[in-house]
Amino acid sequence: MPVEQSEPGAVETVSLDGLAEMRVIDASRPLVIKLDVEGVEIEALRGARGMLAGDCLVVCEEHGSDRKHSVSRYLMEENSLSLMVFDPAVRRFVRLDDLRLLDRMKRHRWVGYNVFATSGRSWKERLLSACSHQ
């Protein structure tokens, strides 16, 4: 919601791509983006399209109460990213090719479930091999 600079509690916002444009973040290097934005994940991701196209790994929360899996759907369908989740049933990271897997994993409405998204091959390999030694 737009606010005037003089309003109490006004906070200036900037997109992740905006931070790269200002050279606060070096988007030419591999990045890990961890979002904790209390329900505005998609809006935050819209401001990171440039970074999402680069060598980055996004870690964001799927809310247990969201039965449509909106964040994962956005990452997969609007950004063509590969998704992975840690599946406690098999105790390792798995590809999230079918969002119905989240139906099984989201056991509690009040819990957030981390989803990992990337287009980078090395990030996928790292995650998918992370627990293979167990």
pLDDT digits (tens, 9 = 90+) for 14-54: 899 999 999 999 988 999 999 888 888 999 999 999 999 88
- The reported pLDDT for the residue numbered 3 is 58
Mean pLDDT score of the chain:
87
- The reported pLDDT for the residue numbered 133 is 53
Percent of the chain at pLDDT exceeding 90: 40
What is the reported pTM?
Answer: 0.82
Q: Residue written as tokens 């079918």?
A: 98
pLDDT band at 111 (very low <50, low <70, confident <90, very high): confident
